[in-house]
Amino acid sequence: MNYETNMNYQTLAVEETIDEETRRKRRRLLLIVGAVVVVGIVALVLTRMFGGSASDGPEVSQVPLVTVMVPAQESVTRTANATGSLAARVDMPVGVVGEGGRVIAVLVQPGDWVRKGQALATIERSVQTEQLAQLAASIEVAKADAKLAQNNLDRAKALLSDGFVSQADIDQKTATRDAAVARVNVAIAQLNQQRAQIGRLDIRAPEAGLVLTRAVEPGQVVSGGSGILFRIAQNGEMEMRAQLSEDDLAMVHEGTLASVTPVGTTEVVQGRVWQVSPVIDQVNRQGVARIALPYNPVLRPGGFANAQIAMQQVQAVVLPESAVQSDPQGSYVYIVGKDNKVERRMVTTGAVTARGLAITHGLTGNEKVVLYAGGFLNPGETVRPKIEKAEPTNG
């Protein structure tokens, strides 16, 4: 009995020893396979990075492959960035034209569009209305007197031939008739004058446009000295008063295109320069270019805006920003020259375009310019250039 039990224990021990050995061999095999896979992946990555293959040999595979471009010259629009305030192009202040009085109604609000001659506010006119009625009645009295004078003259002329009336009487009656007719004309003129004065009691828009501000309320008593009651932007047209440096202002002229972006919005409004300041501020050495803008709700007088003004067309090389490096000495690029050696070339950058930076000096457009990873290269280093075609321009 004990013998059989001991045999069973020995058998189990042997089996456990065999299983542990098998597991150890399997782990060793997995580690070896994993190491081979990692080495293969690394080799593949290095091959793709350096463009080499097993047949290239160790010397060729160590030469880095760089992407270059021959950019050529193209036409680039030079722009000036400016800031400035927004205002109405023609800001019309409106006040009291007549004798004034108590305001009984304000008919418009800021933001309303008005026609030329439209009433903005009305002033109480009860006294003027009674005066108008009195003058109208005086016209009727003067007409009656003139009619009576005319009848007397006609009767006198009929009796002149019979000798009952002298020529002197005729002359006197003629003068009386003329004076009566003149009094009619005077009364009519006074009536028209009163009507005009009553019409001036209405505060009216001098031109069609957009109401910007209102400084009057119903019940307020106004007169010629009350100041500005309304401000109107003629036809709703706005402008930006762009501040430009002395150099940039010299290249801007009337009709120059500009793109204006009000602060607080991404909407761009297109306009044109309609006036260039004839003077330069002696303190900040800047001048003002006034950019005419059509009506747009995002344009609010008194606000601030940024503008890009297209000043002139220049011939330049355009490169992606990744190709241009900079240090304390200035901007530079790497080019691949003779024998595929890397050369450092100092350049002068210009306008920023949708396709990259314009290079105004330093390149002719025939060089092989390194596009990427220029910071990892050194002058004189040998590389293998891979030419990338330049993107076509839009004219």
Partner residues linked to 246 by β-bridges = none
Report the alpha-carbon angle 200-205-207, nearest 5: 130
Joined tokens for residue 9: 């224990």
Judgement on whether residues 327 and 371 belong to the same structural domain of the protein: yes
**Which pLDDT tens digit goes with each residue over 265-302?**
999 999 999 999 999 988 888 999 999 999 999 999 99
Q: Is 300 among the domain residues?
A: yes
**For residue 59, pLDDT beyond 60:** no
Which amino acid does the sequence have at 289? A
**Which pLDDT tens digit goes with each residue over 227-236?**
999 999 999 9
**Which pLDDT tens digit goes with each residue over 306-358?**
998 887 667 778 888 888 888 888 889 898 988 888 889 898 887 777 677 88
Judgement on whether residues 343 and 293 belong to the same structural domain of the protein: no
Q: Which CATH number does the domain housing residue 369 bear?
A: 2.40.420.20
Judgement on whether residues 331 and 308 belong to the same structural domain of the protein: no
Q: To the nearest whole number, what is the mean pLDDT of the chain?
A: 82
Judgement on whether residues 190 and 161 belong to the same structural domain of the protein: yes
Number of domains observed in the structure of the chain? 4
- 212, 230, 248: which is the final residue of a domain? 230
- 176, 202, 230: which is the final residue of a domain? 230
Q: Which CATH number does the domain housing residue 241 bear?
A: 2.40.30.170
Judgement on whether residues 49 and 9 belong to the same structural domain of the protein: yes
Q: Is 393 among the domain residues?
A: no
Judgement on whether residues 293 and 257 belong to the same structural domain of the protein: yes
Structural domain boundaries, residue 21: 2-61
SS3 222: strand
Distance (Å) of CA 214 to CA 26, 96, 106, 370: 91, 13, 9, 62
* 53: confidence class by pLDDT, cuts 50, 70, 90: very low
Judgement on whether residues 202 and 294 belong to the same structural domain of the protein: no
Q: Is 395 among the domain residues?
A: no
**For residue 5, pLDDT beyond 50:** no
Q: Is 196 among the domain residues?
A: yes
Report the alpha-carbon angle 93-94-99, nearest 5: 140
Classify strands 356-361 and 304-319 as parallel, antiparallel or unpaired: antiparallel
Q: Which CATH number does the domain housing residue 104 bear?
A: 2.40.50.100
Q: Is 284 among the domain residues?
A: yes
pLDDT of residue 294: 93
Judgement on whether residues 97 and 186 belong to the same structural domain of the protein: yes
Judgement on whether residues 99 and 218 belong to the same structural domain of the protein: yes
Judgement on whether residues 250 and 342 belong to the same structural domain of the protein: no
Instruction: Provide the percentage of residues in the chain whose pLDDT is more than 70.
Output: 86
- 313, 344, 376: which is the final residue of a domain? 313
More confident residue, 91 or 11: 91
